[in-house]
Amino acid sequence: MNRSLLSIVGSLFFALLMTHSTVYGQGSDNVTLLASIDPRPSTGYNDCWGYTATDGREYALIGAYTGTSIIDITDTDNVSEVDFISGSFSIWRDIKTYQNYAYVVNESGGGMQIIDLSDLPSSASVAATFGGFSVMHNIYIDEDNAMLYASPGSGSAACIAYSLADPTNPVQTSTFGIHNHDSYARNGIVYLSEGGNGSIGVFDLTDPSSPTFLQRFDIPASGYVHNAWTTEDGNYLMTTEETSGKTIKFWDISDLDNVTLKSEVLGSGGLAHNAHIKGDYAYVSHYSDGLKIYDLSDPDNVAEIGFYDTHAATVGGSGAWGAFPFFDSGKILISDQEHGLFVVTLDSPTGIDDTPDVAGVPGGYQLGDNYPNPFNPSTQFRFTLPQPENVRISVYNLQGQTVATLVNERKAAGDHTVQFDARDLPSGLYLYQIEAGQFQAVKKMILTK
């Protein structure tokens, strides 16, 4: 190993020693932390949602055990809690918005709070408390059709449909389905995640007073079927199971009579919570793995392209509970059970950064970030050559020992992908180095087992 790489190893090792005890947030190079806030440090947190006011200001709504925190995130250099709406003590809250209202349910009773957000940033207030139910686990609002769907999450109760024609006075229109943990709707079609039944139920609620059953398909060897979200064209569906070791699944549902499983992925923590889809990307709150971002552009090969771990040292059930990627500004919210709210952005979906040109060498040389990172047991990265070169790519441990040589041959100009399988190596920080003509670059990656 050359002297420059020895210097890099030493610098990285020193940096890790200096930051390990004080930094709990970390992410891939293409996910940037814009802001974080722990507005209620004496309590825990759960779900989050976002709201954009008519004046363009952006707000995060994050559930705390004792109520709902409303945080102005418009200026990420000056993020602050602008109001707090107290509620029944509950470790679970689910929050959705419609027009200028937030709808908040919990599992401790007291009904659904309907919070008026129209006076923000000055204040928010409870416009009504809906008593049609005392306890509810999850809600989803189909904004285009002014419908709210409420899922009890336990027992054998069906999903309940409510009209929001009067936003502060929901009116029940029907019930449908079997026991369900969560619901999602697009274009009048509702997808129920049917929990312990191990299935997804699909219903047509174009006429909310007369639901029509369309299809039910089983998840093979299922855990607890937890949530589902479609792509924007409605042709694909992502499902999660809140059971350790159960993969996130991506389905072709373009023909409901022939639903086909296309891809499966799972972070190293092994426990996914909720998936949300915007464009070609899925944003999954993944508990101890933080937020995971997956590229859906190739349905047969769903791949992680970015992450942000809200608490790198987290264990057990702690970590990222919820996510919200739907702001037009590109801001992404993550709610962490211990540390509150994180605001991030996805900068480069490809995961390839712009490595500076080396003096005297034609431009266009690049060494990309590996993804996933952390990984177990395999990861991949790309490198780019502006002209044919003899290329050597090596992997080193922190002692400077070569643990693998991935490439050692002449390569044509263009983009190349390299796969690294570390199943025989122990957990830890590793460095990978490219040498191509006069170009050299080194990056780090983390193996977790």
State pLDDT tens for residues 213-235.
Answer: 999 999 999 999 999 999 999 99
DSSP state of 263: E
Asked whether residue 210 falls in the same domain as residue 280, the answer is yes
Beta-carbon contacts of residue 221 (< 8 Å; ≥ 6 apart) = none
Asked whether residue 232 falls in the same domain as residue 273, the answer is yes
Asked whether residue 370 falls in the same domain as residue 328, the answer is no
**Is 128 within a domain?**
yes
pLDDT given at position 444: 83
Asked whether residue 246 falls in the same domain as residue 231, the answer is yes
Q: Do residues 140 and 184 touch, judged by C-beta distance below 8 A?
A: yes
Asked whether residue 339 falls in the same domain as residue 367, the answer is no
**Is 49 within a domain?**
yes
385-423 CB burial, b ≥16 within 10 A, e <16: bbeebebebbbbbeeeeebbebbeeeeeeeebebebebe
- DSSP E strand boundaries for 147-302: 147-151, 159-163, 171-176, 182-186, 189-193, 199-204, 212-218, 225-230, 236-241, 248-252, 260-265, 274-278, 281-285, 291-295
Q: Rounded distance, CA 283 to CA 306, Å?
A: 10
378: domain CATH number is: 2.60.40.3080
Number of domains in the chain: 2
pLDDT given at position 427: 85
Q: Do residues 72 and 57 touch, judged by C-beta distance below 8 A?
A: yes
Asked whether residue 76 falls in the same domain as residue 142, the answer is yes
Helix (H, G, I), strand (E, B) or coil at 63: strand
pLDDT given at position 358: 33
253: domain CATH number is: 2.130.10.10
Give the gyration radius of the chain's Cα atoms: 24
| Domain edge (last residue) among 346, 376, 405 | 346
Beta-carbon contacts of residue 382 (< 8 Å; ≥ 6 apart) = 350, 351, 352, 366, 368, 415, 416, 417, 418
pLDDT given at position 310: 87
pLDDT given at position 312: 58
Q: Alpha-carbon torsion 445, 317, 348, 411, what sign?
A: positive
Nearest one of 400, 443, 397, 446 to 6, comparing CA atoms: 400
Helix (H, G, I), strand (E, B) or coil at 88: coil
Q: Rounded distance, CA 116 to CA 113, Å?
A: 10
Q: Do residues 110 and 85 touch, judged by C-beta distance below 8 A?
A: no
Helix (H, G, I), strand (E, B) or coil at 19: helix
Helix (H, G, I), strand (E, B) or coil at 156: coil
| Domain edge (last residue) among 312, 346, 380 | 346
**Is 303 within a domain?**
yes
Tokens of 426: 């122990």
Tell me the Ramachandran region of residue 195: left when phi exceeds 0, alpha when psi lies from -120 to 50, beta otherwise: left
Asked whether residue 114 falls in the same domain as residue 86, the answer is yes
| Domain edge (last residue) among 322, 346, 370 | 346
Q: Rounded distance, CA 66 to CA 88, Å?
A: 6
- Residue 261: burial class (beta carbons within 10 Å; 0-12, 13-18, 19+): middle
pLDDT given at position 157: 77
**Is 145 within a domain?**
yes
**Is 94 within a domain?**
yes
Q: Do residues 264 and 249 touch, judged by C-beta distance below 8 A?
A: yes
**Is 22 within a domain?**
no
Asked whether residue 87 falls in the same domain as residue 110, the answer is yes
Report pLDDT digits (tens) over 357-409: 333 334 578 888 888 888 888 888 888 888 888 999 999 987 788 999 999 99
Nearest one of 226, 251, 225 to 238, comparing CA atoms: 251
**Is 413 within a domain?**
yes
Block means of pLDDT (10 residues each) for the chain, 449 residues, are 50 40 63 94 93 96 97 96 96 96 93 97 97 91 96 79 98 95 95 95 97 97 96 96 94 97 89 94 92 94 91 61 95 94 82 34 71 85 88 88 92 87 89 88 84
Beta strands 291-295; 281-285: pairing state: antiparallel
**Is 21 within a domain?**
no
At 183, phi and psi to the nearest 5?
-135, 155
Helix (H, G, I), strand (E, B) or coil at 448: coil
Nearest one of 427, 254, 343, 263 to 62, comparing CA atoms: 343
Asked whether residue 172 falls in the same domain as residue 306, the answer is yes
- DSSP E strand boundaries for 171-241: 171-176, 182-186, 189-193, 199-204, 212-218, 225-230, 236-241
Please tell me the pTM assigned to this model: 0.74
Asked whether residue 338 falls in the same domain as residue 361, the answer is no
Q: Do residues 161 and 154 touch, judged by C-beta distance below 8 A?
A: no
Beta strands 189-193; 199-204: pairing state: antiparallel
Asked whether residue 230 falls in the same domain as residue 266, the answer is yes
Q: Rounded distance, CA 402 to CA 431, Å?
A: 10
- Can you give the residue range of the structural domain that contains 230? 30-346
Beta strands 340-346; 366-367: pairing state: unpaired
Asked whether residue 312 falls in the same domain as residue 397, the answer is no
